[in-house]
Amino acid sequence: MCGSEQARSHKVHGFGVLRQSAYHGQSLNVQELLMRRLLTGCLVTLLLLCNTLILFGPLMLFALLKLASSGRLRDYNSRAVMWIAETWSEIDKRIFALCLPTQWDIRGAEGLSRDTSYLVISNHQSWVDIPALMQGLNRRTPFFKFFLKKELIWVPFLGLAWWALDYPFMKRYSKAFLAKHPQLKGEDLKITRAACELFKRQPVTIVNYLEGTRFTPAKHAQQHSPYTWLLKPKAGGVAFVLAAMGEQLDAVLDVTVVYPQAKIPGFWQLISGQVPKVIVDIQTRELDPALWQGDYENDPVFREQVQSWVNQLWTLKDQRISTLRAERG
Tens of pLDDT, residue by residue over 101-113, are: 999 999 999 999 9
- The total number of structural domains in the chain stands at 2
Residue 43 and residue 184 share a domain:
no
Choice between 194 and 267, residue whose per-residue pLDDT is larger: 267
Domain boundary among 99, 126, 152: 99
| Least confidently predicted of 34-43, 123-132, 146-155 | 146-155
pLDDT at 28: 55
pLDDT band for position 1 (50/70/90)?
A: low
Q: Distance between CA 222 and CA 216 in Å, rounded?
A: 10
Residue 190 and residue 177 share a domain:
yes
Q: Distance between CA 116 and CA 254 in Å, rounded?
A: 15
Averaged pLDDT for residues 294-304 = 89
Averaged pLDDT for residues 288-296 = 90
Q: Distance between CA 207 and CA 255 in Å, rounded?
A: 10
Averaged pLDDT for residues 219-226 = 95
Residue 273 and residue 237 share a domain:
yes
Averaged pLDDT for residues 248-277 = 95
Q: How far is CA 184 from CA 174, 176, 223, in A?
A: 11, 12, 33
Domain boundary among 75, 99, 123: 99
Averaged pLDDT for residues 167-186 = 74
Average pLDDT of the residues of the chain: 86
Which residues span the domain enclosing 118?
Answer: 103-329
pLDDT band for position 264 (50/70/90)?
A: very high
Averaged pLDDT for residues 4-31 = 52
Residue 120 and residue 61 share a domain:
no
Domain boundary among 99, 119, 138: 99
| Least confidently predicted of 13-27, 150-164, 198-212, 239-253 | 13-27
> pTM, whole model, 2 decimals?
0.84
Residue 159 and residue 80 share a domain:
no
pLDDT at 18: 42
Residue 230 and residue 254 share a domain:
yes
CB of 259 within 8 A of CB of 125? yes
Averaged pLDDT for residues 308-316 = 96
Residue 148 and residue 14 share a domain:
no
Residue 111 and residue 88 share a domain:
no
Averaged pLDDT for residues 261-278 = 95
pLDDT band for position 162 (50/70/90)?
A: confident
pLDDT in tens, 81-97: 999 999 999 999 999 99
Phi, psi torsion values for 169, nearest 5 degrees: -95, 125
The string of DSSP letters for 257-274 reads EE--SSS---HHHHHTT-
